Each structure stands twice: as structure tokens, then as C-alpha cells.
Amino acid sequence: MSYHAKKSYGQHFLIQSTMIEKIAKLILSFSSKNVLEIGPGKAALTKEIISHIPEFLAVEADKDMISFLENLFPDKKNNFIAADFLKLNIESLFNGEEFLLCGNFPYNISSQIVFKALDNIERIPVLIGMFQKEMAQRIVSPPGSKDYGVISAITALYYSGKLEFDIGPSNFQPAPKVMSSILVLKRNENIISIQERKRVRTLIKTSFLHRRKTLRNNLKSILIDKSILDEPYYNQRAEEISPMEYLRLSRELNF
């Protein structure tokens, strides 16, 4: 049974065996009992890891792809979930245990995948994903850099990130027009409480609302006591503030 990539699902299948083996080795190095793969595609990566993981699941939104996978792994049909990961009920997976999240993520929803992982941080200690290189760099960008933004600041409060290696377009079929990167996110030892997450996200998103404006201008809309904005500190722009500073501000400011 053959299968061709669909543009509507942002499918670009990894075909270069050396790269596939390199990613598989990285995933298996974490010795995770439970692994969830997003968008298994033609199972290039799945083939390398499925037999080494005690509890393996893969979620695939394309129903035709599910049929392809079930034919490829007839004795493991229950390992494949026909669903959109963004709508998937994480609570129903692996009996509530932690799991490693991995995959060749569709580039058009990769940032949403990261935010869903952040929302389920207690369950996902490690994320290993293939991203468009530009997005991967943005996720791990430090304060003060041109790529530092909302996703950088929020992610750093939950995970420590590292770009492992790049993958060129020729390694895919069909070839994308951009470079790709493998990004590893490891959960921080101390993560912020559930109660604080909504506040700090609101603060960060509001701070970056108009990137070239100062905190004073951007935060006016949410602060109850605006007098604090008269302090020189609020002359800074959002990209100058570290993730931990945002956390401190979310605890101190009244909004």
C-alpha cells in the first residue's frame, strides 16, 4: 500500500536513513517507558523505536495514514490513535504516567504543540521534536536577542532547551523550502505552580503585544494600579526581560 504526502497536513517525510537513526538514538537515550509520537508519517522513525519502548503510542490526524500504518504494523493496531494531537485528551494516555513526546512536527502547528506540552508539563518531562529551524531557534532564544519572544520566555519557565542538529531539505520527500532542526526540551527541576501559569502567560503576552513599545505602554491595559509604571524599570522593552523576571513581576504586580 503506497501513500503520498498531503499538503493539507503539512507532510514532509524524512527519508535519509542516517538522520532517522540519529533521531531514534537520541530518543532511545532517555530510556523512557512511555513514548508518544506525533505524526508518524511513513513510520521511518516509528520502525526504529517501536520495538525498544515498552509503551509506545503514535497519534495521526490523517485517517488514510492510519490505514497505512495499521497495514505496516498489523499486530500493533492499538498503538495508533486517529486524532488531532491538539484535541487529544492527554489524561487518557499511559494510565496517567509521564511520557516522552516526540515527532516530526507539522510546521504549521509546531508552536501549538509546544504550548500543549507546556499545559501538560507534569506529564511530559522530555520533548524531542523536529521543527522549522527558525521556530526552533525562536523557542530557545535568550533575552536580548532578536528572536526572543513570547514562546521563548514562556517555554524557558518550564523547560531547558537545546538545538541538537540541523536537517537539510534534501533529507525529506517532498523537500521543504526551509531548514529543519531537532530540538530537545527537558523539564526544569522546579516548575511554576498551576496557579501562577495563567498570570505569567498573560503578563508575557501583554508585554510583547507591541514589540517596539516599552513595558510601560504595553502593561497599561492590564494593571489595576498603574502608578508603578512611573518607575524607570518600565522603560525597558519586553525582549530585555528574562523569564524569571517575568515570573517575579507576575507575583508582584496587581492585575
Phi, psi of 193 (to 5 degrees): -70, 160
Amino acid identity at 89:
N
Q: How far is CA 251 from the centre of its chain?
A: 26
Question: What CA–CA distance (Å, rounded) separates 23 from 28?
Answer: 9
In the chain, the domains with their CATH numbers are 7-187 (3.40.50.150), 194-252 (1.10.8)
Question: What CA–CA distance (Å, rounded) separates 234 from 124?
Answer: 35
Q: What is the pLDDT of residues 183-242, one digit of tens each?
A: 999 999 998 999 999 999 999 999 999 999 999 999 999 999 999 999 999 999 999 999
- 194-207 vs 243-252: helix crossing angle, rounded to 10: 110
Q: What is the pLDDT of residues 53-110, one digit of tens each?
A: 999 999 999 988 899 999 999 999 999 999 999 999 999 999 999 999 999 999 999 9
On whether the CB atoms of residues 139 and 130 are closer than 8 A, the answer is no
Question: What CA–CA distance (Å, rounded) separates 87 from 189?
Answer: 28
What is the pLDDT, as a whole number, of residue 7?
Answer: 52
If you search the block for the grid coordinates 509604571, which residue do you land on?
Answer: 229
What is the pLDDT, as a whole number, of residue 11?
Answer: 60
Q: How far is CA 200 from the centre of its chain?
A: 18
If you search the block for the grid coordinates 525529506, which residue do you land on?
Answer: 172
Nearest residue to 240 via CA among 152, 148, 147, 143:
143
What is the pLDDT, as a whole number, of residue 176?
Answer: 83
N- to C-terminal Cα distance for the chain? 57
pLDDT at 156 over 90: yes
The confidence band for 9, taking pLDDT boundaries of 50, 70 and 90, is very low
Nearest residue to 235 via CA among 249, 223, 222, 217:
217
Question: What CA–CA distance (Å, rounded) separates 121 from 248?
Answer: 20
